[in-house]
Structure 1
Amino acid sequence: MPKGDKRSNGIELTDMVYDGQWGEELRGGLGQLVDGKFGGDEIREAAKNSAWVGWRNDSRPNTPVITFEFDKVREFSAVHLYCNNKFMRDVQVFSEAIISFSIGGRHFQDEPIRYTYVEDNIFENSRNVSIKLHHRIGKWVRIELRFSARWILISEVVFDSDVAQGNYTPESQKPAIGKDKKTTTLTKEVPISTAHQEDPLYVAIVVGVLTALVILLAVAIFLIVHRHRHRKCFASPLAKSTVSQKRTIDNYSGCGTSMLPENKMIIDCGLDVKSDEYQEPYQALKCAPYFSYSTVLLEMKDFVKDSNTALSDSSNYDYAVPELSSAPLLTKRRLDSLSERATDLVEDKLDLDTRRSGAGSIRSKHSTRSPSQQEVFIDLKRRLETTNVIEFPRHRLRMISKLAEGAFGTVYVAEADGVPEYNGTITSEKRLVAVKFLCHDATVKEREEFERDVRILAALSSPHLARVLGACRSPPLAVVLEYLELGDLCAFLRTAVPPAPHMLLHLATQIAAGMQYLESLNFVHRDLAARNCLIGKNYQVKISDFGTDNEAYACDYYKVDGRIPLPLRWAAWESVLRAKYTTKSDVWAFGVTLHEIFTLCRRRPYEHLTDNEVLENLSHLQADDGIFECVERSANCPRDIYDMMRECWRRDELERPAFAEIHLFLQRKASYIAT
């Protein structure tokens, strides 16, 4: 790596403890970037302790490149760079990092990982920048940093990696790269063949085969284009999208008047979650974004009259909240084995001490609910009986960009007209909607489950939940949901002008209101975060789940066994370590979401810790050893708000507040500040 530079005030930002070869480049050794010591926010004080290495953008012709050599070939999952951001002193986090890998150290891969950092000119604190490396293989890692300001200061670089399994050989050749001060050009060497002249007959056969392939390809392309011109709807939702994910600030809409046949929307509460298809940590159903389990589905047994919609006695919805000792990869066989033992159902705050288990307790719980809860419960049952999901004409949807891609299919942002309003009228304006497609190869059973889940979701009634607008029944099956003009709350807060404090409270109050509604039905979200909230005009907020499979937020998920995404920094300790999800684990996630709002989503929870260190921190709660470290209070977060966050992060879930209490507190706080 290049040696550091000296600032104008005499502060030396060179790696003074480097034990390798010294020159314009530092080679063959280790230094303070891997010594485990993190620099403070104040550069002068930290420089005395050799905490920062810094480079100035006008001191060298090229951007700084740091190359790491490891003892063995390794599989890399992430890298964490601890950076200074004193932008008032011309120091900022890099604008872009380009990361390449190599087995032998001479030739690096042609497709590096590129990571762009959103510029932060509000908070000057130092921070960890975590970059997912997507299990790339290499013994050498090269990191090239692009300047965002005059200076880049790095204190520590930490890799998350494991020794790679298998045999790997160094790269044998690579196109030569010619560089000058202005341009970078790729030149390809033409190998000189020493083989004998090929037989003319053999060459003719090869040419004939290639010609036939070209003709077949041309015919296939013609047929695809011809078919596309005659289709009114968007092409296959599984095709790779090259459309930019740019947000559209237009009004949005949707449409439809015809009804889906009721016999197609079956409320069949049997659960068969295959472990190889289970990709979303908070969803027990592939489509329903806002809940995993609810007692309402079991109690609907008495309200559904049609024999086709009756629940079998073996229904697994007895388990309102599964309390399992392993990761939530539940097969039907495993759930059936669990049905022999009782599983606790989360009660509301008034009945926390009288928790019961199993299907036999449902009746008694119904009688212990408060009148308001019982009213909401009965209303949902009525809506489940009467709700028909309208057919949404596909030709009124114009796809704009791909939003996410998960195990069930793909989610797109689309423009639509004729969107049904809350009062039943149809709007004439164009609006943005989200369209969730079911995989084209889904089985009949998966299709029926998809339709059932859409109907359940359509029965939810809260202005703070993204509602179902309709469904497209012709293949590929899709559900159309609300989407707001300004996109997800996380991206909005990062890039927009910071809202006033009372407006931040207004955002949090709306999220609490939506979660209070879900809590009253015992629905568990499992992935509450700013990325899963939408924001529209006048700071309107709605809860959704579109951020879960969004590639932009891949760094927010920890891969369990390398494949199951878990929102580790938002999840309650019992969810991570015991796979237990309740409305109280959602309360924990709400506390973290509140922290996001007051940091304008520009600081990750536990930003100074790696994923493994966050996991270790949560394990202190399981051990109850008193060492657990809460997320730090941000500078602009009021003390009483932070105290409420800490209440949400209590070890005992029964001591955490209910969303009804949280909502009331935030309402009063927002009203007080506004006046």
Structure 2
Amino acid sequence: FILVHLLILNLFFSTKIISTSVCRSPLGMSRGQILDEDISASSQWSDSTAAKYGRLDCEEGDGAWCPEIAGEPENINEFLQIDLRSLHFITLVGTQGRHAGGIGNEFAQTYKIKYSRDGSRWISWRNRQGKEVIEGNRNAYDIVLKDLEPPIIARFVRFMPVIDHSMNVCMRVELYGCEWLDGLVSYNSPLGQQMTLNGQYIYLNDSVYDGAMSYSMTEGLGQLTDGMCGLDDFTHSHVYNVWPGYDYVGWTNESFPNGYVEIIFEFDRTRNFTTMKVHCNNMFSQRVKTFQKVVCYFRSESDWEATPISFSPVMDDVNPSARFVTVSLYNHMASAIKCQYYFSDIWMMFSEITFQSGDDPTHKVDDSNTRILIGCLVAIIFILVAIIVIILWRQVWQKMLEKVSRRMLDDELTASLSIQSETFTYNNNSPSSVPSEQESSSTYERIFPLGPDYQEPSCLVRKLPEFSQTSEDTGELQKRVQEGVPHYAEADIVNLQGVTGGNTYAVPALTMDLLSGKDVAVEEFPRKLLTFKEKLGEGQFGEVHLCEAEGMQDFMDEDFSFDVIENQTVLVAVKMLRTDANKNARNDFLKEIKIMSRLKDPNIIRLLAVCMSSDPLCMITEYMENGDLNQFLSRHEPEGMIALLSNAPTVSYSNLHHMATQIASGMKYLSSLNFVHRDLATRNCLVGKNYTIKIADFGMSRNLYSGDYYRIQGRAVLPIRWMSWESILLGKFTTSSDVWAFGVTLWEMLTFCKEQPYSQLSDEQVIENTGEFFRDQRRQIYLPQPPMCPDPVYKLMLSCWHRNTKERPSFQEIHHTLLDCKP
């Protein structure tokens, strides 16, 4: 893992293409790397609330920076200014109020940001929709992190609180990002243009450019330096709720009689340039191609050199993918570069342009540093070899223990399953079983933690540097969490692998015993009445098929309302066990039938029938005509101007709220039975008529959602972006961890599933963020408030993500809250 991390860092610094998901390190307000003399302010309450006390998560002085007079929305004059000493790429900001150990209660509810690259020209930051005001704090102690979309390139940054005179304001702040090694301070280019494609307007303007814009763009930076590369299809975008063409700046050759677009790049100083990388669209089916030729001139003093360099990339009329074109600059010394990009078709579109220079800090590695690096790599290799040997030894030892344990259980434990009938009696609320003569006496093997799909939490704990040193750290982790995380002991849980290899539900053993004490009232369904439509997913033990079923109404319980016309075929999901499945998988399949047959709630997928008379064993469950909620919402847009312009189908907020309330109701029912779902997400909710929602468990089996699961050591897969911190670090799954996942699911819905949760973080960074929740030093990153999410609903989400599980609401409370705040 360390070696891979080093290789990634090396790749990052060698290519120098800034990534907003990687460039998110604190720049030094909270840790003191930014010196007191580099922090200034327009005014202060007193010496104890001076600018130098405006450091995030610090309580020095009177606990924060506080201006003498609070600003007003119409006239903001107060500011806290930070000088970073050099240009930085800033992707995230954090704010906090004045807590001062409970004495203070001043904070900025909203604020604006201004920035400058030279200290003279100040630019107001605006988000991608043109909004300047940033939502700040709601109390004096919580840290609120806000992504800067778009990011900014600046040396100087000002935080400017916006508030009326009804309350005083104080701020503590932090900036997050990395050094801007390109040295580019501005580019001048023609304005981006508008395309009409199939009656749709494609806007290819540089909408976040921060310089002057008239007939051309001058003295600014924008989308060509925002760290976001455009998609292959330029009509779509990474960014939610923007117009077609947003990712690209584009021009048509009809507006350029010379046949080229000229862009001038200005830098902070004279540099020794090695390469230029230009990210181009190549969707040739729409007459868009990479440039045919580029001619670049260099200026080191006041005049342009007479002799330019020229480069012609290989044209590609086969692969329509967008790509970086690398242009060698042959170590030219310059403080400015003028490049003329020649058209090879009607349209030319760029989304990112970066420069590499030989005098960058990343290229200055002397011999001594090289020797140190090689020595470190050799040591790391030896450590990795030792770790591999230990892992192999443990696996052999675990297999030996597993064989011994199973042999003991085969001798001691037997259980039987009869689909037709079982008889149990109860005395004093304690179940005792009396099997009938019809029961079989087949034994089953209990699922052991040492099995191939078990993931030891310590494997994830070791990913966090703080937990990788000694076993005392892990012991402390277990000790600190023991009281705050109630959970079922592993030995008391019955985990069902299901046909796809993913856990269906985690059920307390006592509950499983109670369920086993009832007859399974599920009828045999004739296989010939099932017509295959498509395969929904597959896994280690079986497959899930979408089928049409004839005459299903005749197999329904009296208490089950089935909204289908008589003699009409209905869509069903058929879980099919492989004929070569092992005994464990077959027993799990039968247990799953028992459990599913007892789940009777309008918001939970129902088991309709089974096919057990011959192999392959099948269970038939409901399926909703609109598919899963993730795909349903991603095909829709929120009501508003964007939807009107794009003529896309819409879903109103009231319908979103209705669907969320149904999910909460279904989970309330599961939690009342002490069932833990463990994979609640929009991909596992199905949508029917009139926005009816039913919770299912097909998500893990579908290739469509393979990116939502993180594979541990090539074996277990976990939906880490939906999992609570204690589930990731300790392997503890409870109703409280389902509550956490509900908060993430609610966030998905209110973003219309346009992006993955924590899309700005890599999988490893998501795991590291859970460590911040454990340490509880207020540095953890929360999912941001979606644009259309009301404050009470976002407050509900945040309550689902409390560090302490006891502080998270129950599903009954969540359901009640959603009913109360119904729009």
Please, what TM-score do these two structures have when normalized by structure 1? 0.52
CA distance in 1, matches of 2:746, 2:714: 29
CA distance in 2, matches of 1:406, 1:567: 16
The residue correspondences of 1:564-603 to structure 2 (distance < 5 A) are: 564-603=716-755
Match of 2:241 among 122, 141, 152: 122
| Counterpart residue number, 1:469 | 608
CA shift at 1:399, angstroms?
1.2
| Counterpart residue number, 1:660 | 812
Q: Which runs of 5+ in 1 are unaligned?
A: 1-27, 60-82, 98-114, 129-141, 154-178, 186-271, 276-295, 329-343, 345-351, 362-376
The alignment-based identity, stated in percent, is 33
Tell me if the contact between 1:41 and 1:86 (Cα under 8 Å) persists in the aligned partners: no
CA distance in 1, matches of 2:763, 2:485: 35
| Counterpart residue number, 1:388 | 521
State the SS of the aligned residue for 2:774.
Answer: helix
Distance 1:428 1:510, change over 3 A: same
CA distance in 1, matches of 2:711, 2:676: 21
Tell me the number of residue pairs that the alignment of Structure 1 and Structure 2 aligns. 419
Tell me if the contact between 1:323 and 1:578 (Cα under 8 Å) persists in the aligned partners: no
Q: Which runs of 5+ in 2 are unaligned?
A: 1-12, 24-88, 92-125, 131-149, 155-183, 194-203, 210-221, 248-277, 291-313, 321-401, 406-425, 461-477, 479-483, 494-509, 637-648
CA distance in 2, matches of 1:87, 1:152: 24
CA distance in 2, matches of 1:274, 1:407: 24
CA shift at 1:388, angstroms?
2.5
Match of 1:481, as an amino acid?
Answer: T
Tell me if the contact between 2:663 and 2:694 (Cα under 8 Å) persists in the aligned partners: yes
Distance 1:573 1:455, change over 3 A: same
Tell me if the contact between 2:455 and 2:716 (Cα under 8 Å) persists in the aligned partners: no
Name which of structure 1's ranges 641-650 and 490-499 shifts more when overlaid on structure 2.
490-499
Match of 1:455, as an amino acid?
Answer: K
Match of 1:527 among 667, 670, 679: 679
CA distance in 2, matches of 1:599, 1:558: 22
Give CA deviations for 1:636-660 in whole Å, capped at 9, x if unaligned. 1010111111111011111111101
Looking at secondary structure, tell me which structure has more strand per residue.
2
Distance 1:482 1:353, change over 3 A: closer
Q: Does residue 1:545 correspond to 2:700, yes or no? A: no
| Counterpart residue number, 2:761 | 609
CA distance in 2, matches of 1:666, 1:571: 22
CA shift at 1:387, angstroms?
2.6
CA shift at 1:408, angstroms?
1.8
| Counterpart residue number, 2:797 | 645
Q: Does residue 1:495 correspond to 2:625, yes or no? A: no
Tell me if the contact between 1:617 and 1:629 (Cα under 8 Å) persists in the aligned partners: yes
Give CA deviations for 1:84-140 in whole Å, capped at 9, x if unaligned. 99699999974548xxxxxxxxxxxxxxxxx99788773579999xxxxxxxxxxxx
CA distance in 1, matches of 2:448, 2:522: 23
CA shift at 1:617, angstroms?
0.8
CA shift at 1:395, angstroms?
1.3
Tell me if the contact between 2:232 and 2:282 (Cα under 8 Å) persists in the aligned partners: yes
Match of 2:623 among 483, 491, 494: 483
CA shift at 1:46, angstroms?
6.1
| Counterpart residue number, 1:412 | 545
State the SS of the aligned residue for 2:630.
Answer: helix
CA shift at 1:417, angstroms?
1.7
CA distance in 2, matches of 1:643, 1:579: 27
CA distance in 1, matches of 2:288, 2:688: 37
Give CA deviations for 1:203-223 in whole Å, capped at 9, x if unaligned. xxxxxxxxxxxxxxxxxxxxx
Match of 2:579 among 419, 422, 440: 440
Tell me if the contact between 1:127 and 1:607 (Cα under 8 Å) persists in the aligned partners: no
CA distance in 2, matches of 1:324, 1:183: 47
State the SS of the aligned residue for 2:619.
Answer: strand
CA distance in 1, matches of 2:724, 2:244: 26
CA shift at 1:616, angstroms?
0.9
CA distance in 1, matches of 2:455, 2:790: 35
Give CA deviations for 1:473-504 in whole Å, capped at 9, x if unaligned. 22222211111000000000000233111111
Tell me if the contact between 1:507 and 1:541 (Cα under 8 Å) persists in the aligned partners: yes
CA shift at 1:433, angstroms?
0.9
Q: Does residue 1:302 correspond to 2:398, yes or no? A: no
CA shift at 1:440, angstroms?
2.2
Distance 1:530 1:358, change over 3 A: closer
| Counterpart residue number, 1:514 | 666
Cα RMSD after superposing both structures: 5.3
Distance 1:578 1:121, change over 3 A: closer
Match of 2:546, as an amino acid?
Answer: V
Tell me if the contact between 1:54 and 1:152 (Cα under 8 Å) persists in the aligned partners: no
Tell me if the contact between 1:301 and 1:310 (Cα under 8 Å) persists in the aligned partners: no
The residue correspondences of 1:296-335 to structure 2 (distance < 5 A) are: 301-302=431-432, 305-306=435-436, 308=439, 325-326=457-458
CA shift at 1:614, angstroms?
1.1
| Counterpart residue number, 1:280 | none
CA distance in 2, matches of 1:116, 1:396: 44
State the SS of the aligned residue for 2:651.
Answer: coil
| Counterpart residue number, 2:656 | 504
| Counterpart residue number, 2:595 | 456
CA shift at 1:435, angstroms?
1.1
Distance 1:662 1:182, change over 3 A: closer
CA distance in 2, matches of 1:392, 1:509: 33
CA distance in 1, matches of 2:90, 2:585: 50
Match of 2:532 among 394, 399, 402: 399
State the SS of the aligned residue for 2:787.
Answer: coil
Match of 2:15, as an amino acid?
Answer: L
Give CA deviations for 1:151-192 in whole Å, capped at 9, x if unaligned. 999xxxxxxxxxxxxxxxxxxxxxxxxx9886689xxxxxxx
Match of 1:512, as an amino acid?
Answer: A
CA shift at 1:608, angstroms?
1.4
Match of 1:480, as an amino acid?
Answer: I
State the SS of the aligned residue for 2:534.
Answer: strand
CA distance in 1, matches of 2:799, 2:617: 43
Distance 1:312 1:653, change over 3 A: farther
Tell me if the contact between 2:240 and 2:754 (Cα under 8 Å) persists in the aligned partners: no
CA distance in 2, matches of 1:388, 1:85: 63
Distance 1:310 1:359, change over 3 A: farther
State the SS of the aligned residue for 1:428.
Answer: coil
Tell me if the contact between 2:681 and 2:744 (Cα under 8 Å) persists in the aligned partners: yes
CA shift at 1:599, angstroms?
0.6
CA shift at 1:565, angstroms?
1.4
Tell me if the contact between 1:84 and 1:93 (Cα under 8 Å) persists in the aligned partners: no
| Counterpart residue number, 1:219 | none
The residue correspondences of 1:21-100 to structure 2 (distance < 5 A) are: 30-33=15-18, 36=23, 37=89, 41-42=127-128, 94-96=230-232
Distance 1:505 1:393, change over 3 A: same
State the SS of the aligned residue for 2:779.
Answer: coil
Match of 1:385, as an amino acid?
Answer: K
CA distance in 2, matches of 1:116, 1:126: 5
CA distance in 2, matches of 1:484, 1:598: 21
Tell me if the contact between 2:721 and 2:758 (Cα under 8 Å) persists in the aligned partners: yes
State the SS of the aligned residue for 2:621.
Answer: strand
Tell me if the contact between 1:94 and 1:152 (Cα under 8 Å) persists in the aligned partners: no
| Counterpart residue number, 2:417 | none
**Higher RCO (C-alpha 8 Å, min separation 6):** 1
CA distance in 2, matches of 1:412, 1:461: 22
Q: Does residue 1:669 correspond to 2:791, yes or no? A: no
State the SS of the aligned residue for 2:15.
Answer: coil
CA shift at 1:438, angstroms?
0.9
CA distance in 2, matches of 1:55, 1:546: 50
CA distance in 1, matches of 2:771, 2:601: 36
CA distance in 2, matches of 1:475, 1:312: 19
Match of 2:241, as an amino acid?
Answer: I
Which structure has the greater CA radius of gyration? Answer: 2
Tell me if the contact between 1:487 and 1:534 (Cα under 8 Å) persists in the aligned partners: yes
